[in-house]
Amino acid sequence: DAGVTQSPTHLIKTRGQHVTLRCSPISGHKSVSWYQQVLGQGPQFIFQYYEKEERGRGNFPDRFSARQFPNYSSELNVNALLLGDSALYLCASSLQLRGPYEQYFGPGTRLTVT
């Protein structure tokens, strides 16, 4: 079975631009979460979506938004990019909204903002 897939794998953007990252969860998983990992830190929670509704939001500015589609895939959008947005963006899927449960991560999208 395919795991969590993310696209693109790498991306270089300029300050002020907009970016869209995409994620396909494991088949049957209805919950998708997004995390940001900067160098030397652990992943930091951005959003959780379940059944196309936002179910959780981390401490990130309104420049970050996301949505989930009927097939449970998801997009993360970041507007007005800043240099500090350079990071590895991870998508994770899980069967349930509430636990206990495990989240399974994709390989990530490496975003570089210049």
Partner 1 sequence: DQQVKQNSPSLSVQEGRISILNCDYTNSMFDYFLWYKKYPAEGPTFLISISSIKDKNEDGRFTVFLNKSAKHLSLHIVPSQPGDSAVYFCAASATSYGGSQGNLIFGKGTKLSVKP
Closest contact distance (angstroms) between CB of 71 and partner 1 is 21
Q: Does 98 contact partner 1 by CB under 8 A? A: yes
Query: Site residues for partner 1, window 13-72 (CB under 8 A)?
Result: 33, 35, 40-45, 48, 55-56, 58
Q: Does 7 contact partner 1 by CB under 8 A? A: no
How many Cα neighbours within 13 Å face the side chain of 97? 10
Among 8, 27, 52, 101, binds partner 1 (CB under 8 A): 101
DSSP 52-98: TEEEEE-S--TTEEEEE-TTS-EEEEE-S--GGG-EEEEEEEES-SS
Which listed range, 14-22, 59-67, 72-80, 99-107, lies at the site for partner 1 (CB under 8 A)? 99-107
Distance CA 46, CA 103 (A): 14
Which residues are paired to 67 by β-bridges?
A: 75
Closest contact distance (angstroms) between CB of 58 and partner 1 is 7
- Tell me 25's DSSP state: P
Q: Which residues would be at the binding site for partner 1 (CB under 8 A)?
A: 4, 33, 35, 40-45, 48, 55-56, 58, 90, 92, 97-108
